[in-house]
Amino acid sequence: MATYDNKIWLLKNIRDAFIATDDTGLCEIVMAGEDFSKIFQIKGLEEKKRIKEARALQPGTSKIREGGDSCEDFEREIITQFEPYPDIDESEDEDPLGSSYVRYEEFGGYRQRSNTSQWLDKKEQALKKAAKIKVIKWEDSSPLSKEQCMELFPTVEVKPPEKQKSLLAQQLENCPDLPHRQYLEYGKFDGTAQLGLQTKCFKIFMTMLSEKHQNYPLVVCVIASAKIKDLIGFTCYKYSIEHPEISLGSVHEYGLCIAEDDGEVDWAFPCLDANEPCSKFGFTCLGLIELKNKKSFNSPPIPMPDDGHVFHLFPKMTDSGQSHNNPSRHNTGGSQTSEAVISALRAVNEEKKSSEDANLEKIQCHIMATEAPQYKSYKVQLLRKVRTNTSVQLGISLDRIEIEPLVTHKHVFWSNSRSKYFLHSIESVAWCQILETRGYRTTFRIVYSPSQKNNSALDKNASEHAGYSHLHTTYKYHDFESDHETAKEIVEKVNTILDLLNSSCRREYKISKEKKSQTRRSFHTKHLS
């Protein structure tokens, strides 16, 4: 049996024996690979030759040279590391290999059992089960005699029942507000002992608990039609029953992610859609995770134009960039936006909706990076030096940043004259940062270069500034105000895009900024010394 430890022997055996015993498909891997037994044999021969030559050169081993006949015998005695099995060729037809076909099966080979044997097994189990059940059949026996009846059915004196205490009432009084109470409604998704209903079993790792509580997965069985959110609820229900000392949060605070057998959650995938039935998913190992900062992550969906056109996201050659100052532009043109675009938008929104539950910090960054180039608009306050702040819609996409005043129709006249529509090509945007946080508001700044417009084919305003030279770059900025979360998201989004493009404008701005700080530093050091 020692030969089973021999990898090369095994590989060889698989090669030789695959047809007879293997239906696992493993032999194909071995067959497709190189024939190691041959390679090793060749290597072994080479090694032997080398050793022989080396020994021949050694002065002390004169015996060999003397007895030329014993040379071949001696060769056999040299055993190299490539010798898998002494005399592998000779032994091929002998017993150890020959009988191994049989042994192979009983030892490691696992052949799929036939339907008949499985059916027989089931039958046997049913019989065993039935054997344990006592069956009492109704027999039409001769009626009992009057004496027997008198004896068997005596009249019992009816005593008025005493007042009894209820054990349940006592238990209800003593019953604390058990943690599982909030999940009780999920009890109906229990799939154990269901008859005639499809069920599904999952191994669930409670990844949000401390490490000592997540060594073992919780095995839950639910009916197949249960949705993922029901599965989450049922998991909480089962866990809180088994571990009443651990308090879990609301069902909405958790999500289910795909996990490995060992409980390692695969963070590359978002949580399973809470509204999908669990029968849809083939995974059996899942990790229950906590959804953090749900609020901050709830990004509004991409605005869907009701009348079928999408404003600057998909500009058409004919009307792109026209009438920037015209607040009514939403209603002009754009009717040709294809269904495909709208359906694409819808798909994006759908995706967003479904990933709403997957609000994890870990995947947040990932999503931020992939979503950053997508167009998104925010409602923020544009800060002005002279006039009052105006609320604007700040739209950010991969190629532009637009600031559109939000006006109610009442004040169209005023706002037309007062607030302006800005459109900056992303090439002209140099910097974006948070300035300060005060109370519940955060101000942030977007720095742009008004002269950096010659590259921008999108911006029609460019013409008036076309003459400016790069050397005289001046920077202007817009300051905005919004709540923390929005400000944070905008700054992150803009910076992700800027980093992605790394435009010349941004590079120049960075350089000039560095220079400035250097001069400031040198100024400081001068003064200090």
Partner 1 sequence: MAGDTTASLGGSQVALVTGGYDHTIKLWQAHSGVCLRTMQHPDSQVNSLEISPTSMVAAAGFQHIRLYDLSSANPDPVTTFEDISKNVSRVGFQKNGTWMYTGGEDCTARIWDPRAAPRTRCQKIFQVQAPVNAVMLHPDQSQIMVGDQSGIIHIWDLKTDQNEQLIPEAEASIQDIAIDPAGKMMAAVNNKGNCYVWSLSGQPPHPVPKKHITAHSKYALRCKFSPDSTMLVTTSGDCSAKIWRTSDWALLRELRRDTQRWVWDAAFTLDSRFLFTGSSDSYARLWNIERGTLEREYCGHQKAITALAFKDQPV
- Where do contacts with partner 1 occur on this chain (CB under 8 A)? 129, 132-139, 141, 143-144, 146, 148-150, 152-158, 160-161, 163-169, 171-172, 175, 178, 180-181, 184-188, 190, 192-197, 223, 241-244
Give 92 or 242: the residue with its C-beta nearer to partner 1: 242
CB of 238 to partner 1, least distance (A): 8
CB of 156 to partner 1, least distance (A): 5
Give 196 or 439: the residue with its C-beta nearer to partner 1: 196
Instruction: Give Cβ neighbours of residue 372 (< 8 Å, ≥ 6 apart).
Output: 492, 493, 496, 497, 500
Instruction: Give Cβ neighbours of residue 387 (< 8 Å, ≥ 6 apart).
Output: 418
Give CA–CA dist 372/516, Å, rounded: 30
Give 226 or 491: the residue with its C-beta nearer to partner 1: 226
| Tokens 């000592």 belong to residue | 212
Give 246 or 304: the residue with its C-beta nearer to partner 1: 246
CB of 277 to partner 1, least distance (A): 15
Give 166 or 335: the residue with its C-beta nearer to partner 1: 166
Give 109 or 277: the residue with its C-beta nearer to partner 1: 277
Q: Are 91 and 97 contacting, i.e. CB atoms less than 8 angstroms apart?
A: yes
Please, what is the end-to-end C-alpha distance for the chain in angstroms?
A: 84
Give 153 or 440: the residue with its C-beta nearer to partner 1: 153
Say how many C-beta atoms besides its own lie within 10 A of residue 394's C-beta. Answer: 23
Give CA–CA dist 499/488, Å, rounded: 16
Half-sphere exposure of 299 (CA within 13 A, CB side): 27
Give CA–CA dist 132/298, Å, rounded: 58
CB of 194 to partner 1, least distance (A): 7
CB of 234 to partner 1, least distance (A): 11
CB of 175 to partner 1, least distance (A): 5
Give CA–CA dist 239/81, Å, rounded: 55
CB of 153 to partner 1, least distance (A): 4
Give CA–CA dist 132/145, Å, rounded: 34
Give Cα 388 distance to the centre of its chain.
46
In three-state secondary structure terms, 441 is strand
Give 19 or 158: the residue with its C-beta nearer to partner 1: 158
CB of 287 to partner 1, least distance (A): 22
Q: b/e string for 217-253 if b means 16 or more Cβ within 10 A?
A: bbebbbbeebbbbbbbbbbbbbbbeebeeeebeebeb
